[in-house]
Amino acid sequence: SRLQMQPGYPQPIDKLGFPTNIEKIDAAVFDKDTRKTYFFVGNRYWRYDENIQSMDEDYPRNISDDFPEIDEKIDAAFQLNGFFYFFHGSKQWEFDPKTKRVIRVMKSNSWFNC
Predicted confidence (pLDDT) per residue in 64-104, tens digit: 999 999 988 999 999 999 999 999 999 999 999 999 999 99
Residue 34 backbone class (left: φ over 0; alpha: ψ -120 to 50; beta: rest): alpha
95 assigned to some structural domain: yes
Q: pLDDT at residue 112 above 90? A: no
What's 36's domain CATH number?
Answer: 2.110.10.10
Residue 7 lies in a domain: no
Full residue range of the structural domain in which residue 35 is found: 23-107
pLDDT in tens, 6-59: 898 888 888 889 999 999 999 999 999 999 999 999 999 999 999 999 999 999
**What is the pTM (predicted TM-score) of this model?**
0.87
Report how far residue 102's alpha carbon sits from residue 51's, in angstroms, rounded to the nearest whole number: 27
The answer as to whether 2 is a domain residue is no
Residue 14 lies in a domain: no
Peptide linkage before 60 cis (omega within 30 of 0):
yes
Q: Is residue 113 part of a domain?
A: no
39 part of a folded domain:
yes
C-alpha 107: how far from chain center:
19
Q: From CA 59, how far away is CA 65, in angstroms rounded?
A: 12
How many domains does the chain fold into? 1
- Whether 6 is covered by a domain: the verdict is no
pLDDT of residue 114: 58
Does residue 91 form part of some domain? yes
Contact 31, 51 (CB under 8 A): no
- Residue 13 C-beta-side C-alpha neighbours within 13 Å: 15
3-state secondary structure (DSSP) of residue 80: strand
